[in-house]
Amino acid sequence: MRDSERARFASDGYLVVEQLFSAEEMARLRERGRELAQPGVALQSASQQVEPAVAEGNASAPSYAESLRKLKHVAAGDAVFLAHAGDPRILDIVEQFLGPDIVLASDNVFMKPPRVGSRQNYHQDALAGFFLEPPEQLVSCWCAIDRATIENGCLWMIPGSHRGGPLTPDQRAQYALGADGSEPVGAVPVELQPGGCVFHHGLTLHGSRANASALPRWGYATHYASARCRPSGDRPRDMARPPYLTMRGRRFPGCL
Ligand SMILES: O=C(O)CCC(=O)C(=O)O
């Protein structure tokens, strides 16, 4: 990694890497994702989440797969997604930020389906259910399976927001969508071609718009933590969660 890229991540809290994967590799993930997005598929420790508007009967989608908001914890039970999560092209970059001992803390195929794909409010991943100490030892890689554009709901980042540390719910509320539908001041859209990735720090505020377009916007987010992190005391018991997977390096007693 170039010094300028390391400096950009330190300053902005995210780094875009175009063409980290090929379009063919993304087509393979999409094909496997489509198989896993069928009703009743037995997904070991993974789950399918339907878009809230569809689940509540306020909207409809042309197929079950196109009603799904996300597939969660896929890598633990699927060789294709696990191979992506453990790909050295990603881990070589993550290692620059977290050091050599890396676990997969979570993974999500974010599907943002056409017409019904809902907005993701601005949030800091480290405060969104990971319960790790220290929280800044988390880095996510969001990889575009489809082309991600402003129209179909690409990610938006708030550069430098990680430097303010963990926000309180009141502070986070200031980053809500403006009454006129505008994004908060300073937010930057991250449009990507298939195979392009954005790496973001666990405290960088980011979100995404609803997908009002006719095009899908699948992205596969893999969330990595340093294996030296400890679980924080307030972690709820989550039996459905697969164990943290070693991606690189060592594990440590009392840590994740
Ligand atoms: O894909 C999205 O719209 C949200 C993704 C996200 O919040 C994440 O990768 O942390």
User: pLDDT tens for residues 234-248?
Assistant: 665 565 678 899 999
Q: Pick the residue whose CA is nearest to atom 3 on ligand 1.
A: 208
**Is the pLDDT at 195 greater than 80, yes or no?**
yes
- Please tell me the predicted confidence (pLDDT) of residue 132: 87
CB 150 within 8 A of CB 191: yes
For ligand 1, the distance from its centroid to the CA atom of residue 253, given in whole angstroms, is 31
Closest CA to 140 of 202, 193, 90: 202
Q: How far is CA 160 from CA 60, 90, 110, 230, in A?
A: 38, 22, 24, 25
Closest CA to 117 of 149, 73, 83, 81: 149
Judge if the beta carbon of residue 208 lies within 6 A of ligand 1. Answer: yes
Q: Rounded distance, CA 224 to CA 105, Å? A: 5
In the three-class reduction of DSSP (H, G, I as helix; E, B as strand; rest coil), residue 76 is classed as helix
**Average pLDDT, rounded, for the chain:** 92
The 10 Å Cβ neighbour count of residue 229 is 24
Judge if the beta carbon of residue 110 lies within 6 A of ligand 1. Answer: yes
Judge if the beta carbon of residue 117 lies within 6 A of ligand 1. Answer: no
Q: For residue 218, give the amino acid letter.
A: W
Closest CA to 192 of 150, 157, 144: 144
User: In the chain, where does DSSP find H-type helix?
Assistant: 3-12, 23-36, 52-55, 79-85, 88-98, 169-173
Q: Rounded distance, CA 237 to CA 241, Å? A: 9
Domain boundaries, the chain: 3-248
Judge if the beta carbon of residue 221 lies within 6 A of ligand 1. Answer: yes
- Please tell me the predicted confidence (pLDDT) of residue 44: 74
Judge if the beta carbon of residue 125 lies within 6 A of ligand 1. Answer: yes
* Percent of the chain residues topping a pLDDT of 90: 79
Q: Which two tokens stand for residue 52?
A: 């809230």
Q: For residue 67, give the amino acid letter.
A: S
Residues 6+ apart with CB under 8 A from 83: none
Q: Rounded distance, CA 198 to CA 144, Å? A: 9
Q: Which fold has domain 3-248?
A: Jelly Rolls (2.60.120)
Judge if the beta carbon of residue 156 lies within 6 A of ligand 1. Answer: no
* Percent of the chain residues topping a pLDDT of 70: 95
DSSP secondary-structure letter at 235?
Answer: P
